[in-house]
Amino acid sequence: MTAIVPSNFFKQERTPAETKYELLGKCFEAWCAATFTLPGLPEKALLLDLNAAPVAGEYVPQAILLQQLYRSTGSRTDLNQIIHTFFSDPDAPALGHLQEQLSALAFYEKLIHQPAFLSSPQAQADVADMLASPVPALAFLDPFNLSHTGGLRQEQLLAAGVDLVLLLQPQTLLRAMSGKASQSMKDLFGERLTQVRGYFKREKAPCRRVRYTLLVLQEVLAERDYLALKFDINAPNSAEASYYLLLASRQKAVYRSFKEMLLPYSVFQEDGVPLLHTNQQQPDQLALFIEAPKYTVLNLAAELEDKSSLYKYKAIEKIYEEHHIGTTYILLNYVEAFKLLRDRGKIELLNPKTMQSIRAATAASVVKYKTS
């Protein structure tokens, strides 16, 4: 297990543009690590950013992505050979400026597939062909801020199972869900759109509207066989998230990679379970009482105690891979939970090579449940 090195990035208030600059490359790196496993690479892969234009031209995270492609040239996982990048944004002038910035990069001419912009009909046709193939694909976007998508509809992305990195701002979410329903929102929420708009009629608190919309969005993605992970980005000493990162994939390996990528930025409980948000949240002023934490090592141990039929003679890491979906638990939490169960006499931990009982617990340790 790799030690988690905490990041201080969110110890000061950050704008969405700063956050995208910090995390876009890391999301891409995590996705690549889980998607492109040797031996064998796909002939093509697709990288989309549908909200690509930087704010005031100050932050250009797409340059980081292209640099990652260039640096992989000649390696065993040569991303420069296989990844096609496409950018779009509702702000056409800003997108044009981005195109100028990227074409000025020192390594730009050495990119095998130079980025295309979805203002071009040919680029739109190329993306449509790749989505129909399908090929491994990752898209960065804010679905609530897509007045122009370069001819793409969100339905196409979801139908193709494109992996998603969504940077979501409460203001754009509330604006998109409160006004006249756009085709983009109809594509995304389907029949659930009426449900959300009905909630908005009953509930006037913006923070609750946002939370409910995100909950329904995660349910919509789950109905499409996505595994979704929400990460709250809180300013220091703030009761509410300033904005959110929602990561979604149909692949368990990508979901795990996304979650583990976020851990340096997360607050942790005393027992080592991550809360998947930045900074320590202040109590919600609208809450009538403070809820006990749902995910704890004690709760995890209790949940695993009676799972002999599912997990007997499996390695702790394998159990983690099968069980952690939809929770905040990480691999270390499973090691600690099984140590508790061993100390209670409920299980034995075995050396994976010799199958002999051991005291030191690792991710590779095999779990032997004791019969009553």
HEC per residue, the chain: CCCCCCCCHHHCCCCHHHHHHHHHHHHHHHHHHHHCCCCCCCCCEEEEECCCCCHHHCCCHHHHHHHHHHHCCCCCCCHHHHEEEEECCCCHHHHHHHHHHHHCCCCHHHCCCCCEECCCHHHHHHHHHHHHCCCCEEEEECCCCCCCCCCCCHHHHHHCCCEEEEEECHHHHHHHHHCCCCHHHHHHHCCHHHHHHHHHHHCCCHHHHHHHHHHHHHHHHHHCCCEEEEEEEECCCCCCEEEEEEEEECCHHHHHHHHHHHHHHCCECCCCCECCECCCCCCCCCCCCCCCCCCCHHHHHHHHHCCHHHHCCEEHHHHHHHHCCCCCCCHHHHHHHHHHHHHCCCEEEECCCCCCECCCCCCCCEEEECCC
Q: Which pLDDT does position 122 carry in this prediction?
A: 94
Residues of the chain with CATH 1.10.10: 297-369
* Residue in the structure block whose two tokens are 């130079």: 114
Residues of the chain with CATH 3.40.50: 9-265
Burial 226-243 (b: 16+ CB within 10 A, else e): bbbbbbbbbbeebebbbb
Reported CATH class of domain 9-265: alpha beta
Q: Which pLDDT does position 21 carry in this prediction?
A: 93
Q: Which pLDDT does position 292 carry in this prediction?
A: 86
**Fold of the CATH domain 297-369:** Arc Repressor Mutant, subunit A (1.10.10)
d(CA 174, CA 50): 20
- Dig out the tokens for 85 from the structure: 């990048």
For residue range 65-114, what is the model confidence (pLDDT) as tens digits? 999 999 999 998 999 999 999 999 888 888 899 999 999 999 999 999 99
Phi and psi torsions of 274, nearest 5°: -70, 150
- Dig out the tokens for 16 from the structure: 């969405």
Q: Which pLDDT does position 153 carry in this prediction?
A: 84
| Sequential pLDDT tens for the chain (372 residues) | 678 999 999 999 999 999 999 999 999 999 999 999 867 789 999 999 999 987 655 679 999 999 999 999 999 899 999 999 999 988 888 889 999 999 999 999 999 999 999 989 999 999 999 999 889 999 999 999 876 566 788 889 999 999 999 999 999 999 999 878 888 899 899 999 999 999 999 999 999 999 999 999 999 999 999 999 999 999 998 878 999 999 999 999 999 999 999 999 999 999 999 999 999 765 555 555 667 899 999 999 999 999 999 999 999 999 999 999 999 999 999 999 999 999 999 999 999 999 999 999 999 999 999 986
Measured between its terminal Cα atoms, the distance across the chain in Å is 32
Q: Which pLDDT does position 135 carry in this prediction?
A: 94
For residue range 104-151, what is the model confidence (pLDDT) as tens digits? 999 999 999 999 999 899 999 999 999 998 899 999 999 998 765 667
Q: Which pLDDT does position 367 carry in this prediction?
A: 97
Q: Which pLDDT does position 90 carry in this prediction?
A: 84
